[in-house]
Structure 1
Amino acid sequence: MKQVVFLFLLVLWNAVGYGQQKFTLSGTVRSQRTGETVINASIRNVRGGEGASSNEYGFYSITLPAGDYEIEYSAIGFSTFVDTIKLDQDISKNILLPDEVKDLENVTVSASGKGRTITGTQMGVERLTMTEVKSIPMLLGERDILKAIQLLPGIKQAGDGNSGFYVRGGSADQNLILLDEAQVYNASHLLGFFSTFNSDAVKDITVYKGGMPAQYGGRLSSVLDVKMNEGNNQNYELSGGIGIISAKLNLEGPIQKNRSSFLLSGRRTYADVFVPLAKDSAIRNNKLYFYDYNAKFNYKIGERDNIYVSGYFGRDYLKFDQQFGINWGNITGTVRWNHIFNNRLFSNTSFIYSDFDYNININNPNNDLDIYSKIRDLNLKQEFQWYAGSRHSLRFGFNSTYHKIKPGDVTSSGTASFNNFYLQDRFSWENALYATDTWKAAPWLNVTYGARVSSFAILGEGDFYEIDDNGNVTDTLHYSKGELVKNYINIEPRLAASFIINQTTSVKASYVRNVQNLHLMSNSTTGAPTDKWLASTNIIKPEIADLVSVGWYKNFSGNRYEFSTEAYYKKMQNQIDYRTGADVFTNDAIESQILFGIGRAYGWEVFLKKKAGKATGWISYTLSKTERKIDGINDGAWYNARQDRTHDFAIVFNYQLNRKWNLAANWIYYTGDAVTFPSGKYIIDNQVVFYYTKRNADRMPAYHRLDLGATWLLKDKKKFRSELAFSIFNAYGRENPYIISFRQAENDQSKTEAVQTSLFRFVPSISYNFKFK
């Protein structure tokens, strides 16, 4: 124990001891045009090369020896600013970065600024600017964040009509999706055709697909961290757009100039407006639309304190005649308080609310059924960032979340005999402590080390079950309200290092353990709104994943190009799959319907990106394998996971033709999904029953698609800008399979035929976008 204490004191002395002859420059980086804070801005000593980055609230801190310096401030989308300072005491200096000025004579544009850092330890991180997202051709012209990130290496799309995605062998529920720190449990509109994120309200997109920092937890595979715009605190701006199926409007401006601002953004589809015009009465009674609203307010209390309040509300409605209807939606709310204790210590306190629910109505002549499910979170998060010295930067805090899950209530309002059915509500309390230190160990070596300690307490009230190997309930245990059923405690170490070969080349390695206590019960892999969230129980243990990755990174041609390649291996414990013929939606003892085992995933990713010039874009390729091994499935042998794909390839291209026209294209190819096709059939009571053997041993046909787009700048005046955006989704009309089903051949009942269903061929779109500045 004495040795541990001595080692801790030695590290602490190493962290602060270097500050005796050094001083700290700190402050907040903001946009000169809007007053919004700038995330991930680079702050660099021009002569010496020492550097730092602004955090997610724009705060930065850099410690240097006393002397005269030229400090360079730069960020994606902004012009570089160089400031000369005399550092003979601690200095607090806020910076206003001017917007990037493009060379219209040569039409030279920058798609990304610093991009991935060569010296940083973080691996498997991808960042996209909204400029990049808006230039990618999308289905029906709707700019979609989730579709855009699926063009990056290691992130696989679920297919046409789906917003679900898979990261490094994980399933769709193993991705943590955050909007201003609030968890979004279902990020899809229109049954997965579009995502919940309105691009006009989004400021920053970061995806962690490996080696995620210790402040994130609760999912095995990835984190999608989306930050909303804060609102312009200098001038009022009104922007919007009208497309084939939707319209949106965005208003922002100062409440008190230089001190506070607001953002209000809304979007709605209007296909339902035209449905009543149909001649067919059955079609006239259908409904299919969604809407969502984003709002954010921020107030600068003083030089050291800021308050942010943000929220999201979205809803989908789907109704087929008078027979079936479903509506679902998310509500999130976040209140954050930033406080700067001094030039080295930054604090953020967050109160977070998250809610997802769905309601299904089934109307029969004598019996109307109503099915309702909900998951709700109340979350408190406290975090500190301590810039201990020139060699150490620490981040530590805690997170406490109370989960309430209503798996499903089935009620009847008809005259037919029916017993209302209520699955038990489940309650849990999830807590985590975390700490991490980024250490500049040597000029050629940076190390990030830390850990996250998570606790998941399962609470009563309710019945919990004991299950035998055959899935039979052997005992029922009742717990009163608030009584502790079981508490799972896990330590999640995080370790990453970057070995700097030169200013443009580095090698990185990382190890991370992640734990997941919320699980999605689904008959699909795409995150349908009717999927059911389930917390760990006395039988369902937390899922655990250990990920090891290595990579090589290179920037060349004056940082106009960046190249990286990463290899990874992931080992997973307590993976969940269904028993044959499982019923997970009306069975209260859901543990009796599922099986548990292990998983593994490994792969190789390549990424080449051109960041500047008339032509920009990237090429990404992923070679991977994802498998599961669960007793009771495939005779206990390894089998392909549903999301297993061998090859995944994407090309994204953007070309600034001239001042008025921007052209874009993307081409996608990937191996068909692993599926289970029937291997035989037999007849029972004159009915054909298909026979299945090995799970996920077959493949869907390969998928490929070309999308084309063009943006025509109509006007670009001082106070007004407008454009027309054109796109063609699936330009060469490939009939990619959405579903393959099997049936008896009409002409020969002894034969079975496969029937392929495809969704989209040649989908053109046009949208008009405007902005009053």
Structure 2
Amino acid sequence: IKAAQMGKVELGIDRIKEVPVIFGEVDILKTLQLMPGVRNAGEGNAGFYVRGGGPDQNLILLDDAVVYNTGHLFGFFSVFNADAIKNVSLIKGGMPAQYGGRLSSVVDVAMKEGNLNKTEVDAGIGLIASRLSIQGPLKKQKASYMISARRTYIDVLAKPFIPKSSEFYGSGYYFYDLNAKMNWIVGPKDRIYVSGYFGRDVFDFKNARQSFEVNVPWGNSTATVRWNHVFNKKLFNNLTLVYNDYKFQFTGIQNDFKFKLSSGIRDWTAKTDFDWYASPQHKLKFGGIFTYHTFFPNITSGSQDTIQFNPLNTNNKYALEYGVYVQDDWEVSKKIKLNYGLRYSVFQQVGRYTHYKNDANGNRVDSTVYGRGQTVKTYGGLEPRATLRYAIDDVSSIKAAVTRNLQFIHLVSNAGTTLPTDLWVPSTLRVQPQISWQYAIGYFRNFKNNMFETSVELYYKSMDNQIEYREGYTPSLRDPEEEFVFGKGWSYGAEFFVNKIKGRLTGWVGYTLSYTWRRFPDLNFGEKYPSKFDRRHDASIVANYALTGKWKLGAVFVYGTGNAISLPERFYFQEGVLTQEYSRINANRMRSYHRLDVSATYTPKPKKERKYKASWVFSIYNLYSRQNPYFYYFDQEGNPANGTLKVQAKQVSLFPVIPSVTYNVKW
């Protein structure tokens, strides 16, 4: 009500842990997807879409480090271990000038800093994963640490069911992650934080009979060092150094043939942020950021016997990204508050790089070689940001925001879901940066002594230089840039939110009505079509009830219009092969998505002689076993020779009803 910022959601980790989840694994991102304006991408997908934007348009930070891949188990779980997290904030509209590089939203995740006074241990054992967290003082009131680890044991559970005589012996999957942080109070004016994250998914598939083996590891690594310095009561600074890396690898072996595919992105970042309380009416924030990007696009190699091949079809791409900003939180009067700022961003693609020129048929006819550090292409621009709050009275206000955002990196996918194989590419000679203008206005009101928080927000967002693969694209050894087409998008909608934060019954209700469109000159005959991120209706209900001092109940219901998809309009035989013919893109819809999850948490009263607290969490995912669509395929029945051939669309679903139990202990 009082802040100028709009479209911002802050969630404490305790509230996140009350939401029922699949397999009992607390999931920060899945909880954020229950907010209006934030659309989940469906089961088996870690990506999420904010106000019509793609998953790459969300700036996801873990202690200031960008997290490029947010999913474990192909998206079924997020990479954020809730036991290591202190708090989470989401900004989906009116992004302040301090944030840049993305069009749609910011998810800012902060790790716990460690207890300065005593050692604490948290542990949990679930059906498919266990976790352990330890925090405590290195030196009381002076320095502390936090270490948190998590691992699944799907591979361990499956191993007894795959005998050594089986042709699939040695196959398996698991993921693990490790969070660590150190907090050191150097003196009354200085504090240093060091934190890191390391996570990996590992999938192995073996077929001894076919002499075939596949190994697919992928994951993120981050490291952050932050120095906080207080100059005086009005001015302090944060100087931050960040390293982050995302890698995906695929290795396939059959007999003496070996094939390897790898992709990823690596960043080195330095940033500085100043906070200056210039007066009671003005709080200024200003600073700058520099990032050196390295992009690894679908690098292929292989061998057979003694023959090695390493096609020169791709280049690593390198880029420099700069940004400076200033913003002011200005209390104009008791009723009017303004947060306004300006950001200037520059992106330079630099060498080493070879640019190929093609003729009308796609054949290479010329090339230009750029040396190390030589500028290939430079983009830049101003990003004005402003949000205004007008307080009607002590419990209600009207807010409006306008923002311009630039995004210089892109995530390109050939699938309807976010997968680890999706490709990150920079802005280059061929690929221009994404540009967005977003306008929003909202009414906010609290009721019953701030027990209820309610809001209605309207928004419109335009998006230029959107990327898709060309029609009929199939993966090849060509440079992926040669397969892109470019267009624009726009999205508009209304979001409704009611949040109860006090009493035995807490929770929220959210509803979004939205439209998201795309138009590409080279797709869909140049006509507009619904984006794959389009969802007309999206609703969620979250409820938590303190039944007794020992029992807490929870429930989540979600409903969403089915995803927009392209289905063939007709089938015909061409040279004896059944062929599908498509016309319009995303002209069809999957069945609507809805699901009910419930949970019950039992926390026995701790005994005096025990030094630990324990709890049991019982949950049921998809209580009424709704068969929500994951994808469709076409099945043929009958014989075309006698006119009995039938082609039917069939649905594949992932999860029926899934009960789970988790035991948590803390001491």
Query: Which interval holds the TM-score relative to the shorter structure?
Result: over 0.9
Could you tell me which residue of structure 2 aligns to residue 140 of structure 1? 23
2:128 is the counterpart of 1:238: no
Q: Distance in 2 between matches of 1:136 and 1:473?
A: 55
Q: Distance in 2 between matches of 1:362 and 1:279?
A: 21
8 Å CA contact 2:630, 2:653 repeated in 1 = yes
- How many residue pairs were aligned? 654
Residue 514 of structure 1 is aligned with which of 405, 413, 426? Answer: 405
Q: Cα offset for 1:473?
A: 5.3
2:451 is the counterpart of 1:560: yes
8 Å CA contact 2:414, 2:469 repeated in 1 = no
Q: Tell me which amino acid in the other structure corresponds to 2:617.
A: A
Q: Cα offset for 1:355?
A: 0.4
Distance 1:476 1:681, change over 3 A: farther
Residue 194 of structure 2 is aligned with which of 278, 303, 309? Answer: 309
8 Å CA contact 1:525, 1:643 repeated in 2 = no
Q: Distance in 1 between matches of 2:40 and 2:49?
A: 7
Residues 506-536 of structure 1, C-alpha deviations (whole Å, 9 max, x = no match): 0000000111111112122433111111001
TM-score (norm 1): 0.83
Residues 122-158 of structure 1, C-alpha deviations (whole Å, 9 max, x = no match): 1111111111111111011100001110100000001
> Counterparts of 1:337-416 in structure 2 under 5 Å?
337-415=227-305
Could you tell me which residue of structure 1 aligns to residue 336 of structure 2? 445
Q: Distance in 2 between matches of 1:770 and 1:421?
A: 53
CA RMSD in angstroms comes to: 1.6
2:52 is the counterpart of 1:184: no
Could you tell me which residue of structure 1 aligns to residue 464 of structure 2? 573
Query: Mean Cα displacement is larger for which, 520-529 or 467-476?
Result: 467-476
Q: Tell me which amino acid in the other structure corresponds to 1:338.
A: N
Q: Cα offset for 1:159?
A: 0.6
8 Å CA contact 2:347, 2:408 repeated in 1 = yes
Distance 1:454 1:474, change over 3 A: farther
Distance 1:678 1:344, change over 3 A: same
2:618 is the counterpart of 1:720: no
Q: Tell me which amino acid in the other structure corresponds to 1:450.
A: G
Q: Distance in 1 between matches of 2:182 and 2:162?
A: 46
Q: Distance in 2 between matches of 1:217 and 1:720?
A: 44
Q: Distance in 2 between matches of 1:129 and 1:747?
A: 60
Q: Cα offset for 1:370?
A: 1.4
Could you tell me which residue of structure 2 aligns to residue 764 of structure 1? 659
User: Alignment identity in percent?
Assistant: 44
- Aligned to 1:301, the other structure's residue is in SS state strand
Could you tell me which residue of structure 2 aligns to residue 208 of structure 1? 91
8 Å CA contact 1:367, 1:416 repeated in 2 = no
Residue 537 of structure 2 is aligned with which of 619, 622, 647? Answer: 647
Segments of 5+ residues of structure 1 without an aligned counterpart are 1-117
Q: Distance in 2 between matches of 1:147 and 1:474?
A: 49
8 Å CA contact 2:65, 2:242 repeated in 1 = yes
Could you tell me which residue of structure 2 aligns to residue 259 of structure 1? 142
8 Å CA contact 2:639, 2:645 repeated in 1 = no
Q: Cα offset for 1:678?
A: 0.6
Q: Distance in 2 between matches of 1:525 and 1:218?
A: 24
Q: Distance in 2 between matches of 1:472 and 1:452?
A: 41
2:77 is the counterpart of 1:194: yes
Q: Tell me which amino acid in the other structure corresponds to 2:184.
A: Y
- Aligned to 2:278, the other structure's residue is in SS state coil
Q: Distance in 1 between matches of 2:365 and 2:604?
A: 71
2:621 is the counterpart of 1:729: yes
Q: Distance in 2 between matches of 1:178 and 1:526?
A: 21
- Aligned to 2:31, the other structure's residue is in SS state helix
Q: Distance in 2 between matches of 1:548 and 1:586?
A: 41
Could you tell me which residue of structure 2 aligns to residue 161 of structure 1? 44
- Aligned to 2:83, the other structure's residue is in SS state helix
Could you tell me which residue of structure 2 aligns to residue 121 of structure 1? 4
Segments of 5+ residues of structure 2 without an aligned counterpart are 208-212
Q: Distance in 2 between matches of 1:472 and 1:514?
A: 36
Q: Cα offset for 1:387?
A: 0.5
Q: Distance in 2 between matches of 1:717 and 1:179?
A: 37
- Aligned to 1:645, the other structure's residue is in SS state coil
8 Å CA contact 1:243, 1:766 repeated in 2 = yes
Q: Tell me which amino acid in the other structure corresponds to 2:453.
A: E
- Aligned to 1:218, the other structure's residue is in SS state coil
Query: Mean Cα displacement is larger for which, 524-533 or 367-376?
Result: 524-533
Q: Distance in 2 between matches of 1:475 and 1:413?
A: 29
Q: Distance in 2 between matches of 1:473 and 1:435?
A: 46
Residues 93-112 of structure 1, C-alpha deviations (whole Å, 9 max, x = no match): xxxxxxxxxxxxxxxxxxxx
2:558 is the counterpart of 1:668: yes
Q: Tell me which amino acid in the other structure corresponds to 2:458.
A: A
Could you tell me which residue of structure 1 aligns to residue 178 of structure 2? 293
Residues 682-740 of structure 1, C-alpha deviations (whole Å, 9 max, x = no match): 32332212111111111000000000101000243573110000100000011111111
Q: Distance in 2 between matches of 1:617 and 1:226?
A: 21
Could you tell me which residue of structure 2 aligns to residue 541 of structure 1? 432
Residues 349-390 of structure 1, C-alpha deviations (whole Å, 9 max, x = no match): 000000000111112234111112221100000010100001
8 Å CA contact 1:723, 1:769 repeated in 2 = yes
> Counterparts of 1:600-749 in structure 2 under 5 Å?
600-716=490-606, 719-746=611-638
